[in-house]
Structure formats: C-alpha cells, structure tokens
Amino acid sequence: MSTAENQSHVHERKDPSEYGFLHSMESGAAVDGPGMRFVFFMSGCQFKCLYCHNPDTWKLHNGTYLDIDSVLKEIKGYARFLKFAGGVTFSGGEPMMQAPFVGAAARAIKEKYDLHIALDTQGFLHGNVEDDWFDAFDLIMLDIKHINPDTYLELTSQPLQPTLDFAQRMVRLKKEMRIRYVLVPDWTDAKEDVEKMADYVASLGDLVELVEVLPFHQLGTSKWEKLGLEYKLKDLRTPTPEEAEAARDIFRARGLTAT
C-alpha cells in the first residue's frame, strides 16, 4: 500500500482527534514564541497569501501521518529543557485546519509535561471550536495580515472579519496574545495602514504582550517555482531596517511593545 493510500485508509478508520498530518518539526526554534520552542508545523491552510514562504504546507494530506503518542515521544527528550527555556508551538500551515488533533495533542502535552504551549494562527477557523478548546494554550500568536478588508482579501483570498472576531474572542477568554504583522512593501507598509492596525491592536488591551513586525523576505521563492505556482511578488524588495523600525515605532506610540 502506498503512503497516500495508507494515510487515506487511516483517515477513514480513525477519529480526527487521534491523528494529524505534519509538514515538519523544529526542536530549537527561537522565533516561534517566547524562549526556545519545539514547533510542530502542521499541514493544510485555506489561505493563499501572496507572500507565503511555505506554499508546500497548503495541502493537508501532503504531510506526514502523526498521532498523539508520536507527539509525546518527539517532545520527551526535550521536555525538561523546554519546561524552563520555552515550550511548544503549533504552527503551520494553519493548525486550526486540524483542530480536533491539535487540540487533543496540546491537552496531552499539558497533562504529561505541563509545558507552555503557543498557537500560531490567523484565527479564521475559530468558529469550528468551543471555548474550552483553547484551555491548553497559554499564548495565541495571531497573524493579522492587513487592516483593510479589501486589501486583506486580495492578499489572502479570504475575508478579514473572522480574524478580527477571533481577536475579540481571545479578549473575552482573557488569552494572552502576540500580534504578528508582516511588513510587505507596497502592500502592508503604508503609514496610514500601519497606524490603523496599531489602533486596532491597542484596542485589544493589556492581553497583547508583544507586536512582532516581520519584514517580508524572498526565502520561499524557490518553493513556488518547484510547485509550479506563479509567485507574483518575486521582484519585490525586502523592507530596510529603518522602515521596519519606523513601523514598530507606530505601534510603540500606542503603548505597545514591538519588536
């Protein structure tokens, strides 16, 4: 039986909370949450962001089969270190595309190792889960790609409002958040857009512990080419350090911590 056939067979006979599809893992990540992180990059994403640097994560079943026991075994050798140095992050792709499994895995990690757990998401699919699904997550890393609904749709192929609704839900649930904002020349770097974004983020209150302004880069260009996809931003430049710092200063002017 081929790998694809085996995964399809597993999918038919198991509860989706028991298994998932993994794009990749990283055991020493320093940019995916506080401290050093063990990161599970889950497969599947319903967004098609023009600047995506991992388009190979878009298709759910292109990933490797993973079950709860495998998750716990992968973490076991790092758990003692992660307890004081960082924690675990579920990223993607979009981890909420596999919400039953990701939620079950986060609960299992919390129960067995009591580690800090972060969820890196754009929040679009939050309506598919109940409030208690978020109980195991200590930090929500929310990627808001633009504050203008029309530009957001053009950038991502999806509407903005579900992501803003998700942010408000996290406020209601009193979940600590990091807001991630990718600074893309000619798309997300206009001063008035950054100011509107900063105003919105400030309105979320003290639960926002950090804003990460992430300069656009071209590191994923080869992946688009390999997949035979048209990469419309291949000639776009990377923001200068001064431009990135100017954007951070706009957030700081609203009393927010920005890096």
CATH of the domain at 237: 3.20.20.70
Give the pLDDT mean for 136-144.
Answer: 98
Q: For the chain, what percent of residues have pLDDT higher than 70?
A: 95
- The per-residue pLDDT for range 5-62, each reduced to its tens digit, is 445 445 555 788 899 999 999 998 889 999 999 999 999 999 999 998 888 889 888 8
For residue 221, is it within any domain? yes
**Closest to 170 measured CA to CA, from 132, 128, 140, 125:** 140
Which residue blocks in 143-238 are alpha helix, DSSP H?
149-156, 161-172, 191-203, 221-226
Residue 4: pLDDT over 50: no
Written as one string, the DSSP assignment of 211-257 is: EEEEE---TTHHHHHHTT---TTTTPPPPPHHHHHHHHHHHHTTT--
Question: Which residues are annotated as part of the binding site for [4Fe-4S] cluster?
Answer: 45, 49, 52
Q: What is the pLDDT of residues 159-188, one digit of tens each?
A: 999 999 999 999 999 999 999 999 999 999
Tokens of 12: 């038919």
Q: Tell me the HSE value of 95 on the side-chain side, using a 13 A CA sphere.
A: 25
* Model pLDDT, residue 218: 86
Could you tell me if residue 258 is inside a domain? Answer: no
The binding site comprises 45, 49, 52
Domain assignment of residue 19, given as a range? 3-252
Integer angstrom CA distances of residue 55 from 41, 105, 119, 157 = 13, 24, 19, 14
The number of distinct structural domains making up the chain is 1
Residue 257 included in any domain: no
Calpha distance 183→218 (Å, rounded) = 13
pLDDT at 3: 42
Instruction: Report the alpha-carbon angle 137-198-159, nearest 5.
Output: 70
223 — pLDDT class (breaks 50, 70, 90): confident
Report the predicted TM-score, pTM, of the whole model to 2 decimal places: 0.92
For residue range 227-239, list pLDDT tens digits in order: 889 999 999 999 9
Closest among 54, 58, 44 to 16, alpha carbons compared: 44
